[in-house]
Amino acid sequence: MGREVIEAAVDRDDVDVAFAVNRSPAEAVAGIEVHDAADLPSLLAEHDTDALVDFTGPESSVEYVAACAEAGVPVVVGTTGYTDEQERALSAAAETVPVLRASNFSRGVAALRRAVRAAVGALPGYDVEVTETHHNGKWDAPSGTALTLLDDIEEEREDLTSRTHGREGDAPRSAEEIGVHARRAGDVAGEHEVLLAGDDNVLELTHRAGSRRVFAAGALDAAVWLAGREAGEHDFTEVLE
């Protein structure tokens, strides 16, 4: 994703890429030098940075967001898979600087979330199953987007109180469960499906990312929106309003 973001950014008129960092030495991307991540604090200060965009891993992300809080730099976070403690660290940073997080920076998933909420609200009592498919290099399961969809569904349906991850055994599903299925295969950029089934009818709502460019574009839109804002936690939906 780091490469996708740099490549998308150099093509935009509303963004200047000041620098990039990675934990391991890396070749320049689209003419942008990639520095050692240990130099992030000095780079943030040196470049009078308007916003940092982070797509890495949970541990490094928390570190980078803390560096942004220290330097007073707004930060857009696309990383997923945090522990509760890491989530709290991100929220703490948002007391000092604006932090915009999204488990999915595609506009299609923003629309999917609205459609899922409407469908779940309109179909009380229906069984709900969430399935996501991603490339074979993905670390976290279920995906951050699936977790966001599950939170949305549970807010609409308070009777759905348990998440069943995969399913095996010899008992039928219970009324209060949401099935959650994570598939990993090939180079799939990201697919999320919510299936609602009642008696004699089934509704499936699906989003498919055609490539990872869509996430990079959304994250850069978010960075442009976030620069110069007040400290606090922000969501991608605010960018789309």
Binding positions for (S)-2,3,4,5-tetrahydrodipicolinate are 135, 144-145
Rounding to the nearest 10 degrees, give the CA dihedral for residues 61, 135, 160, 113. 80
**Residue 107 · residue 84 · CB < 8 Å:** no
Minimal distance, residue 37 CB to ligand NDP, in Å: 5
Binding site for ligand NDP (CB under 6 A): 1-2, 22-24, 37, 55-57, 59-60, 78-81, 102-105, 140, 144, 212, 215
- Token pair for 110: 């923003």
C-alpha 111/C-alpha 129 separation (Å) is: 18
By beta-carbon proximity to ligand LZUJQKHR, the closer residue of 74 and 144 is 144
**Residue 17 · residue 35 · CB < 8 Å:** no
Binding site for ligand LZUJQKHR (CB under 6 A): 80, 103-104, 134, 138, 143-145, 190
C-alpha 92/C-alpha 87 separation (Å) is: 9
Minimal distance, residue 205 CB to ligand NDP, in Å: 18
- Token pair for 39: 């130099």
Number of residues written out for the chain: 241
In Å, how far from its chain's centre is CA 199?
34
In Å, how far from its chain's centre is CA 212?
12
**Residue 82 · residue 191 · CB < 8 Å:** no
By beta-carbon proximity to ligand NDP, the closer residue of 105 and 126 is 105
C-alpha 15/C-alpha 32 separation (Å) is: 13
Q: Of the listed 35, 138, 192, 207, which one is catalytic?
A: 138
| Residue 74 binds which of ligand NDP, ligand LZUJQKHR, none (CB < 5-8 A, kind-dependent) | none
| Residue 102 binds which of ligand LZUJQKHR, ligand NDP, none (CB < 5-8 A, kind-dependent) | ligand NDP
| Residue 89 binds which of ligand LZUJQKHR, ligand NDP, none (CB < 5-8 A, kind-dependent) | none
- Token pair for 174: 């219970």
C-alpha 194/C-alpha 112 separation (Å) is: 9
| Residue 126 binds which of ligand LZUJQKHR, ligand NDP, none (CB < 5-8 A, kind-dependent) | none
Which residue has the CB atom at the shortest distance from ligand LZUJQKHR?
190
Q: Of the listed 35, 47, 134, 234, which one is catalytic?
A: 134
138 in catalytic set: yes
By beta-carbon proximity to ligand LZUJQKHR, the closer residue of 97 and 150 is 150
Tell me the HSE value of 94 on the side-chain side, using a 13 A CA sphere.
16
Minimal distance, residue 107 CB to ligand NDP, in Å: 11
By beta-carbon proximity to ligand NDP, the closer residue of 26 and 197 is 26
For the annotated catalytic residues, the residue numbers are 134, 138
